[in-house]
Amino acid sequence: MSAESKHPMTRRIGRFALAEKLVSIQPEWAMTILAECVVVRCEFRYDTMIFDYVAISPHFEEVPEGCLPPLYVAQMESINSGTEESPIIQHRFKAFEPVENPEDCIRAALRKADECP
């Protein structure tokens, strides 16, 4: 396939991590995040207990060919669409925010897992 015939989305590639704890305890959070991208690679890292993803998404910046995809942290928000007496909590994808340091990506994934009820 020539470079001219590739879909423009294929260069919008990024990396992010989700903690195994988040995936197992709050799978709806993981599904909400993963619905925003097309995963092209996933590796479970036993040393940190995280899933390391490489994905294509309109939320990522375009990456020149031959360059490593940048790191992102998935941001979520919880919204109560019910009342105080009868809360209906919905989890909504907010954004993929770029990060510079791989350690920040791992820390954010683990912190998000610790916020699970």
| pLDDT tens for each residue of 5-44 | 467 677 899 999 999 988 898 888 899 999 999 999 999 9
Q: With cut-offs at 50, 70 and 90, classify the pLDDT of residue 2.
A: very low
Domain assignment present for residue 61? The answer is yes
pLDDT band at residue 1, thresholds of 50, 70 and 90? very low
Assigned domain for 4 exists: no
Helix H, strand E, coil C: the string for the chain is CCHHHCCHHHHCEEEEEEEHHHHHHCHHHHHHHHCCCEEEEEEEECCCCEEEEEEECCCCCCCCCCCCCCEEEEEEEEEECCCCCCCCEEEEEEEEEEECCHHHHHHHHHHHHHCCC
- The pTM is what? 0.79
Q: What is the pLDDT of residue 63?
A: 92
The whole domain housing 32 covers: 10-114
Query: 2 in a domain, yes or no?
Result: no
Mean pLDDT of 40-57: 94
Neighbours of 14 (CB within 10 A): 20
**Highest-confidence segment of 8-12, 31-35, 81-85, 104-108:** 31-35
Residue 52: inside a domain = yes
Q: CA–CA separation, 112 vs 117, rounded Å?
A: 11
The answer to whether residue 69 is domain-embedded is yes
Number of domains making up the chain: 1
Q: Is the pLDDT of residue 97 over 70?
A: yes
Per-residue pLDDT band at 57 (split at 50, 70, 90)? very high
1 domain residue, yes or no: no
